[in-house]
A and B are shown apart, each in its own frame.
Chain A
Amino acid sequence: MNLLWLQSGGCGGCTMSLLCHDAGDVTGTLRAGGIELLWHPSLSEQTGAEALELLEACAEGRHALDILCIEGALLRGPAGSGRFHMLAGTGRPMIDWARRLAARARHVVAVGSCAAFGGMTSSGANPTDACGLQYDGEQAGGLLGADWRAPDGLPVINVAGCPTHPGWVVETLLGLAAGAFTAAELDALGRPRFYADKLVHHGCSRNEFYEFKASAAELSQLGCLMENLGCKGTQAHADCNTRLWNGAGSCPEGGFTCIACTAPGFEEPGHPFHQTPKLAGIPIGLPADMPKAWFVALAALSKSATPRRVRENAHADHPVVPPAVPRGGNGR
């Protein structure tokens, strides 16, 4: 299968993240999985007229196009003209190129939350009228429309994230090349379920603090970040803490809050990112699928049961009270 990658209203960070794929040389990994890079703005030799010939041939159907990856939001402004991004050298808005190429591609992949939902580029008053390929925030539609389908019946595959984890992109592409992707592999927002059916909370190293509601008061402290510091890890769909980033990390591992960057609208949470909005002292955003009454009851109970070790470590940036070492065997 061949792969054409284009960038529009985004930061290029999903490509940069992709190049951090840690199973070796990512271009070699894709090649070995049967994916030939037709053109990528950061990697390919062809530039200017050489690249345009290829794009035009794909858009006109003279050159087969298997996978179209779009990174970055689609900019419809000003006034529907798309002139906030004219693809260099073409005098044509990128949204026109995206529409034409999507019509020819066997599969279309939105790489990152911008291409999926509009993402960061659509924040504030959305000055560029940015949207995703098939979503405008959480509303189905976007550039291609809610009913758009690829020849095999799949909608746009939304590999959401800001940035995307290189593993999410590589496994999605390898899955397409292997013919392993069906509609059943996608969640309600078109995201691959292999990572979107998990929560950032899963595997978070702060889980003991969460259990006891031993909460950090400031960033850099070890305690749970949900109660005070805006962390959405219990609601965010991603496997960041079981997969890990750049060999060793994740947002909570790095000492800061999960901002649910795989979700539509994450860029405008309606509150400062590092403050948990509360109603009567209870966080408004509860853990996924958790009834409020139970959350309140369990929180009250667990707070009263918090061991001194957990309570004190929650407010330090490194463990100050170690776990007790059992003497004379665990069985006593």
Chain B
Amino acid sequence: MSRLVLGPFNRVEGDLEVSLEVEAGRVRAAQVTAPLYRGFEGVLVGKTPLDALVFVPRICGICSVSQSAAAAAALRAAMGLVPAPNGERAAALVLAAENLADHLTHFYLFFMPDFARAAYRGHAWHAAARARFAAVEGSATAEVLPARAAFLELTGTLAGKWPHTLALQPGGSTRAVAMNDKLRLLALLRRFRAFLETRLFADTLEAVAALDSEAALWRWCDARAPHEGDFRHFLAIARALGLASLGRGHDRFLSGGAYRLDDAPLFTAGLWRAGSAAVEAFDPGAIREDGRHAWLPDGPALHPFEGRTEPLADKDGAYSWCKAPRLGGEAFECGALARQVVDGHALVRDLVARGGGNVLSRVVARALEFARVLPAMEAWVQAIVPGEPFCRHGAMPAEAQATGLVEAARGTLGHWLVVRKGVIANYQIVAPTTWNFSPRDAGGQPGALEQALVGTPVGEDERVPLAVQHVVRSFDPCMACTVH
């Protein structure tokens, strides 16, 4: 048996170290380390509750709006506010823009460049993959960055800037939208749709959203030459490399429900397990965070309302600053795949039924979200009524306890806020990658990535095994959020 320590593991957000025990050419066990601690939760204690809106976006530069949205949701619940419908739509647009921009960044800048590596030379698909997806140098970079920047002008219009806006407030959003702004937003969405329909899919978003089984996906893939559309390009490589057989996790999926407007989410909340007959309810009250293998004091696993985050750099058996969140004692996976399987999209349900969560299904689910979310964004813009209010105001009670749940690009993000005597008495955050990249809990149960890496092939001379990189990056981890 040999041991491999991989780091700095780049093309993920933030710093990441992965340690592998390798036996007979396969990963026997993995440990995932979040090596950076900042301590945001402690900093928030004693602050005016609304000041959370300044601090929490700065937990993470790539999930900044998601953090804002979760804080705004918790504050809204604490204040008992009903947001202005216009503001709710504007905030959903800003969140959706971040989530789709993150999916785009992940696909083109973080994930695909690995197929351009020299180690894949000799595969029939390599030359084309290298020309298109090579890190920085590939032809995709020069197209994707301007498309992404142009798409995020939507955020410039609705929220002043990205990242780190203060536009998302408990009662809605701060920037009213006039008739001409709507036209500008629609034009920006059309431009991004054109990019997706020509470059990513070489097909309409509606055609992609209508794919209803794995068989239909491969038929769609084979209907055109493999390089017509970057997603088809990926599928062809994925099939050649067998990515569907890599990175299978626990197959327990969690979604907090995404894009809640008028109290109804676009993608439903719930839990899904391999072999489920129906979606189970998600009860945030059943979450406990375990710190046994984190550099934090030992103690019973606590619900986030009771949670504490005090660093303890010297501790036997600890290997990460990340806690281990568990729901009813079980580790869960969250992200686009979880959202889509819980929501019941036929293609994703079929992929999960056949192969569970794996490198292929995680990437397909993200691509599917472009096709499902952009049309919703178009409808939200249409539904904005210029002249009607965007933000309602209210008072923060001196004593309150509230939860804010949103779906970030990478999965379920929760903020738990306790207000005492008018100031924050406790603020705990459970981020998507805290779920996915958690260390083992007190019972030895590994987190989703630790599980997914088991069995991954490792070549004899591989210093940074490629299959391991595909599995890790298939989760699109955000280490900045993970340890906040």
Chain A contacts to B: CB under 8 angstroms: 7-17, 19-22, 24-28, 37, 41-52, 75, 78, 81, 83-90, 120-121, 123-125, 127-128, 130, 162-163, 218-220, 244-257, 259, 261, 272-274, 317-318
Contacts and interface: CB of A to CB of B under 8 A. Distances in A.
Nearest to B155: A246
A11 B116 contact: no
Nearest to B148: A19
B54 A259 contact: yes
28 contacts: A12-B14, A12-B480, A20-B148, A27-B136, A27-B145, A49-B6, A78-B313, A84-B38, A87-B15, A90-B7, A124-B46, A127-B39, A220-B175, A246-B162, A247-B149, A247-B153, A249-B155, A249-B160, A251-B165, A252-B160, A254-B158, A254-B160, A255-B160, A255-B176, A256-B165, A273-B51, A317-B389, A317-B390
B8 interface: yes
Contacts of B174: 219-220, 254-256
Contacts of A274: 50
Contact of A44 (B135, B161, B167): B135
B296 to A, nearest CB: 13
B429 interface: no
B48 A272 contact: yes
Given A220-B175, A256-B167, A272-B48, A49 B9 contact: no
Interface in B10-37: 10-11, 13-17, 33, 35-37
Interface stretch (B58-66, B224-232, B268-276, B343-351): B58-66
Contact of A13 (B8, B61, B184, B313): B61
Contacts of A88: 6-9, 15-17, 33, 35
Contacts of B311: 78, 84, 127
Given A47-B469, A245-B160, A317 B176 contact: yes
B282 interface: no
Contacts of A130: 38
A10 B161 CA distance: 18
B313 A256 contact: no
B13 to A, nearest CB: 5
B192 interface: no
Nearest to B153: A247
Given A9-B36, A42-B13, A45-B134, A219 B8 contact: no
A75 B6 CA distance: 22
Nearest to A220: B391
In this complex, the interface size class of chain B, counting residues with CB under 8 Å from chain A, is 35 or more
B10 A272 contact: no
Given A49-B463, A90-B8, 4 more contacts: A85-B36, A86-B35, A88-B8, A124-B45
Given A127-B43, A163-B164, A255-B173, A89 B38 contact: no
Nearest to B146: A24
A48 B136 contact: no
Contacts of B141: 25, 27-28
Contacts of B150: 22, 247
B387 interface: yes
B169 interface: yes
B162 A17 contact: yes
A11 B145 contact: no
A27 B109 CA distance: 12
A17 B152 CA distance: 10
A252 B7 CA distance: 41
A52 B8 contact: yes
Contacts of A162: 58, 164
Given A14-B61, A42-B10, A20 B136 contact: no
Interface in B368-395: 386-387, 389-391, 393
Contacts of A44: 10-11, 135-136
